[in-house]
Amino acid sequence: KCLPLAKLAANTMIETTEYIRTLPTQEEREKHLRKMERDLIKEYEPVLRKMSYSQGKVLLKLIVRECNSTPYEILQAYLGNFAADFWQTVARLFTADLKMDYNPDGKDALIEKIATKIEQGEL
């Protein structure tokens, strides 16, 4: 359930970054990011609300795996420090951490093993 969302997040991030680079002014970039944020919330909020806390934490780990950046760093890059700090505070209220690392050889080995099997079509 989480892996497709993490892959979608990575693809969306790549596409958005490439598109934003083509916009001539900072104002247009910010306008596009606000629109993207509204559209993503509208489309995926119902799915995310149905996830359990543990599924949410796995999703955060898989986002780090797919994007090579923490969710905090992604928010910081696209929305700024204030928004990243705000969402980090919200995450901490729910015992999550947007600054978490992903260690496929250590504590996240099971997640890595499952994700790899799914990607190879074994699950």
The predicted-structure confidence for 84-113, as pLDDT tens digits, reads as follows 999 999 999 988 999 999 999 999 999 999
**Distance, CA of 78 to chain centre:** 12
Instruction: Report the alpha-carbon distance of residue 28 to residue 120 in Å, rounded.
Output: 40
The helix-helix angle for 71-79 and 26-49 (nearest 10°) equals 140
User: For the chain, what percent of residues have pLDDT higher than 70?
Assistant: 100
User: Which of the four pLDDT bands, split at 50, 70 and 90, describes residue 78?
Assistant: confident
DSSP string, 41-68: HHHHHHHHHTS-HHHHHHHHHHHHHHHS
The DSSP letter of residue 99 is: T
Residues 56-85: b if buried by 16+ CB within 10 A, e if exposed: bbbbbbbbbbbbeebbbebbbebbeeeebe
Q: For residues 65 and 104, is the Cβ–Cβ distance under 8 A? A: yes
Q: What is the pLDDT of residue 55?
A: 92
Contact by Cβ (8 Å): 40, 94:
no
- Global confidence as pTM: 0.85
Per-residue pLDDT tens digits for 35-63: 988 998 899 999 999 999 899 999 999 99
119: Cβ contacts below 8 Å, ≥ 6 apart: 3
